[in-house]
A = this chain, B = another copy of it.
Amino acid sequence: MTTQHLAVEAAREHRETHAAEILAEFVDLLSLPNVSRDADDVAATARHVTAMLESRGVEARTVQLGDAAPVVVGHLRREGARSTIGLYAHYDGQPIDQPGWQVAPFAPTLVTGVLGEGIERPLPEGGEEIDPDWRLYARSASDDKAPVQAICTALDALAAADLTPPANIVFLFEGEEEIGSPNLRTYLETLTEELAADAWLICDGPVHQTRRPQIVFGWRGISEIEITAYGPIRPLHSGHYGNWARNPNMQLAQLIASMKDADGNVTITGFYDDTADITEADIAAVAALPDNDEAMRAELGLAATEDDGAAHAMRMLMPSLNVRGFSGGGVGLEAANVIPTEATASLDIRLAPGNDPEGILDKVEAHIRSRGWHIVDEEPDLETRLAHPLVAKVRREASYAGARTRVDSPLGQALLGAAEIAAGEPVVAMPTLGGSVPVHHFIEVLGAAVAITPFANHDNNQHAANENIRLANLWYGVDLMAALLTMELEAGT
């Protein structure tokens, strides 16, 4: 048996005999509030994560530059190692303001299945039978504290079996991923030497929607833009002024509506330009993927999907425009008969390889202007409002570009092999992830090869209410980390 096989076997045995302890430790980690913008919470989580690594003999520390959220850096150095493998995760989480939370986001709740179907139950005692279909509900249960726990548990398993990683291992856990990793590049530039690695593995994201494990070789970038339309300077009685004063909800709806056609394709001039060509190889890889589209539609209650039902995996190779929020005035019991003073739409744009994060926002702004709007970057004063019939405040944030790595590279083959050992079956080779991960900095600053090694369940509600992880996925994550920690790479892979 190879070291990787032994490592996965050790991981399996360890997590089966220590499941209750592992869950208890994970619940401690998940109990720490970690919304990205809450600096004190994020710092406390970083300290906790650092201590978790240290207790496994990792040479770990918390590094903080200025006002940036800290990163956790850790090393397992091996004399004479031929290669270095980096493992990245992020310990911060999305906001928790979404409606629909049925559990407290930071009071982890174990449920014997999906919330609403299964029942809540206490954490198991040592030795108690644990169903892998149980789920643990909490913010970041999947995205992205799960890899932190899986790595620590895998290290415990290796130690128990007296196995050591053949390569040097370097860990980097970030605290600002959910707000676009504004300081990751600075951290990489500052710590370039100690973060040098042959490959950086991004431990984030879900397995394939069919629940089959996967290795992901590409990802989309992301830009964000928020548009606020202005109406009268004070709310106006809709009877006394309706039909005369313009309504910012209607004007913004007309602007937003003009950005896509009825079939979901973006109509902004040049939006799809610069997108990396979809090659024959991409098409072949997509064709080899499990076809799950119809099942996803049925599960999600979607009678139709965009672009006349085009394949999900093909759509992920294109940039997207998503109206993540629209808010103006009140609805339901909060509805009041007024013309509101403003309305805001918040958009996230996922970028395919080739799309320029700033350039695509320029195109959106050009579209807004082409519809007769005057753009400002602060709330407009009276003079500005009186000079322009349509005034929009635009706040934009170009975060990072997308990229793709070759499946048939030595790294790609080593990863597919490791995941296959952990999974006990061939895994999916995904050309691109739909989501965005701040990966390009690793390529640009460190010159490392990069791929994504996800293990969360696809229905984990990440970024939404009732985020959770299915225990079967957590267990696979432990096995996968054991296999990755014992992987060897040729130098310069």
Contact = CB atoms under 8 A, between A and B. Distances in A.
A256 B255 CA distance: 11
B303 A249 contact: no
Most B C-beta atoms less than 10 A away, residue of A242, A264, A329, A463: A242
Contact of A350 (B236, B243, B343, B465): B243
Contacts of A385: 301-303
B315 A326 contact: no
A15 interface: no
A340 interface: yes
Contact of A386 (B303, B331, B333): B303
B346 A335 contact: yes
Interface residues of A, number: 102
B249 A325 contact: yes
A434 interface: yes
A426 interface: no
B241 A434 contact: yes
B329 A326 contact: yes
A51 interface: no
Nearest to A206: B240
A320 B237 contact: no
A90 interface: no
Interface in A245-261: 245-247, 249-250, 252-254, 256-260
25 contacts: A95-B336, A97-B334, A98-B330, A100-B235, A239-B436, A240-B435, A242-B320, A242-B321, A242-B322, A242-B348, A243-B318, A243-B321, A246-B306, A247-B322, A249-B256, A249-B325, A253-B323, A253-B326, A323-B329, A324-B329, A324-B337, A325-B340, A331-B344, A337-B348, A337-B463
